[in-house]
Chain A
Amino acid sequence: MEEVPQGCPGTGSAQAGRGASCQGCPNQRLCASGAGAAPDPAIEEIKEKMKTVKHKILVLSGKGGVGKSTFSAHLAHGLAEDENTQVALLDIDICGPSIPKIMGLEGEQVHQSGSGWSPVFVEDNLGVMSVGFLLSSPDDAVIWRGPKKNGMIKQFLRDVDWGEVDYLIVDTPPGTSDEHLSAVQYLSAAHIDGAVIITTPQEVSLQDVRKEINFCHKVKLPVIGVVENMSVFICPQCKKESQIFPPTTGGAEVMCQDLKIPLLGKVPLDPHIGKSCDKGQSFLTDAPDSPATLAYRSIIKRIQEFCGHHPPKEEHLIGS
């Protein structure tokens, strides 16, 4: 790294790249173009847009296929069962948008109005947005590099007309890359309540989930807690338990103890969950007595309690 020239006006200054002392500096062109100066204006725009959204929850996992979308969808369903609670579900998995299918909204299209894009409504109080709605065929692949994906996420956050929302749930793809950085960056001025992290019991998942928790710490995203999915399988025939995904290193329980993070709950593996998702129906209403439903409901309650106990800093909301 070369030394900063003497008399450098600073990269954020109006004189950046233009001052006399900028001549010969390797960053002169960059500064003169204004690139180093202001942060993305979208961040303020999104902050404004998010003023009507009381609580924002990210659903994350370092690992793929652990049930993020399944959980996001059922968190949305569960919260929306109270018709006075307005719920929004945003799917920022650009390459593998599962939410339309899981919510029974495949084939729906997004409409534009004067106030922006309209989400697709499952119920009056449950609106959904996903790149899936922008694709014309189920075979269409979104083969985009990072910057284009980031642009889409910015649009989703800035241009969707969510209206007055109590909970915005953001479903993410696996990993710790563009989508996650963009979501956190664009929402940085708008206060995210926290992240729910999904895992399955085995170490192969946990090792990725620890990275995700690390990511949350790095970007100062509060962790609401961890959900262990596909915990145990109960045979529908003999009712005996099997561990299909064995917790060889103690599962989420030990990981949460080690990292001092709440374990929100464990959801058993119920074949009906997958079936409900494939049919686009709420598993909570399809199988109200399943141990998995009871587990989901308990977890949802804990998340609501977390949001209730950690009100947004900037605004003092009148209790609903």
Chain B
Amino acid sequence: MEAAAAEPGNLAGVRHIILVLSGKGGVGKSTISTELALALRHAGKKVGILDVDLCGPSIPRMLRAQGRAVHQCDSGWVPVFVDQEQSISLMSVGFLLESPDEAVVWRGPKKNALIKQFVSDVAWGQLDYLVVDTPPGTSDEHMATVEALRPYSPLGALVVTTPQVVSVGDVRRELTFCRKTGLQVVGVVENMSGFVCPHCAECTNVFSRGGGEELARLAGVPFLGSVPLDPELTRSLEEGRDFIRDFPNSPAFPALSSIAQKVLSQAPARLS
């Protein structure tokens, strides 16, 4: 792939870039990335998702796009459209693997190289939002992504945590990463915030409570909301269904919609 340094670049048509980060694994970054993209689409926006989790690329399955092929055009790779209307496009290393069980066992430099390609060599076209899903941590992938996206002034980062102290402990470090790399924090999302028993309606704080809101307060960043545990949400992601369209009465829906609304209201008006 040739470097696109001299051209305006494949991101020139992208109005807003938002990263989804967490110091902690398994808190729901890919879930939030997917649901945010679906909610933005339902708000009439054209959305792209860039999945830079090279070791554990979850997004293709969550949008029922596993096994799709990536084609090339003059400007580079064509992202995979996950719907007929072509309102959500996706790029993931998952599409480049020969088999879904194939492990990407790469050290940092090779990961960095692919991420640079994903940022500069995917022909995104005109997008309202590009959501960038990341793996957990503060390492190669994160530095490569932030560096590659810097010239395009990302809107900022959505930082995801679960309520308990062990998660918040890692996510504090992610907030430091954002500070050090000059990435604005759009807000903190607390996921897996309580489970309402479908049998008796008792709410149990499976992963403790309150940590996300407290973290946002201490760090001086907006708290965007708490998303409860919702087996319908998990199931939708397993099956690649559109949770936002199909389950508006499910416990997680109000929180996810509200988070999307807050992201929409954050985006400053920009001249295209």
Contact = CB atoms under 8 A, between A and B. Distances in A.
A218 B238 contact: no
Interface in B15-70: 23-27, 30, 55-56, 58, 61-62
A289 interface: no
A52 interface: no
B169 A138 contact: yes
A230 to B, nearest CB: 9
A277 interface: yes
B136 A62 contact: no
Nearest to B173: A141
A245 interface: yes
A65 B166 CA distance: 11
Interface string A196-215: 00001011100110111011
Contacts of B164: 274-275, 277-278
Given A174-B26, A174-B136, A177-B111, A246 B234 contact: yes
Nearest to A240: B199
A121 B162 CA distance: 29
Interface in A223-246: 233, 235-238, 240, 242-246
A207 B101 CA distance: 7
A92 B140 CA distance: 16
Interface residues of B, number: 63
A154 interface: no
A277 B166 contact: yes
Interface stretch (B84-92, B121-129, B148-156, B204-212): B204-212
A12 interface: no
Given A235-B200, A238-B200, A278-B166, A143 B103 contact: no
Given A174-B25, A246-B231, A246-B235, A140 B176 contact: yes
B195 A143 contact: no
A141 to B, nearest CB: 4
B180 A211 contact: no
B271 interface: no
B91 to A, nearest CB: 18
A64 B169 contact: no
Contacts of B268: none
B174 to A, nearest CB: 7
Interface string A125-142: 000000000000011111
A274 B166 contact: yes
Contacts of B136: 64-65, 95-96, 173-174
Interface stretch (A23-31, A145-153, A159-167, A307-315): A145-153
A176 B205 contact: no
Instruction: Give the interface SS of chain A, mostly helix, strand, loop or mixed.
Output: loop
A238 B105 contact: no
Given A143-B180, A233-B195, A271-B206, A212 B200 contact: no
Given A149-B139, A278-B165, A139 B24 contact: no
Contacts of B174: 141
Given A63-B56, A178-B107, A242 B173 contact: no
Nearest to B169: A101
B55 A145 contact: no
Could you say which of A218, A235, A238, A269 has the most chain B C-beta atoms within 10 Å of its C-beta? A235
A175 interface: yes
Interface string A68-93: 01000000000000000000000000
B143 interface: yes
B103 A96 contact: no
Interface in B152-207: 162, 164-166, 169-170, 172-177, 180-181, 195, 197-200, 202, 204-207
Interface string A170-200: 0001111110110000000000000000001
B165 to A, nearest CB: 4
B4 interface: no
Interface in A84-125: 94-96, 98, 101-102
Contact of A176 (B104, B142, B176, B181): B104
A150 to B, nearest CB: 8
B10 interface: no
B109 interface: yes
Given A142-B138, A146-B107, A244 B231 contact: yes
Given A204-B61, A235-B204, 10 more contacts: A65-B27, A65-B162, A95-B170, A140-B173, A141-B176, A141-B180, A145-B108, A211-B102, A214-B102, A246-B238
20 contacts: A63-B56, A65-B24, A65-B25, A96-B23, A139-B172, A143-B139, A146-B140, A147-B108, A149-B139, A174-B136, A175-B135, A180-B105, A202-B234, A207-B101, A211-B101, A235-B204, A238-B197, A246-B234, A249-B238, A274-B206
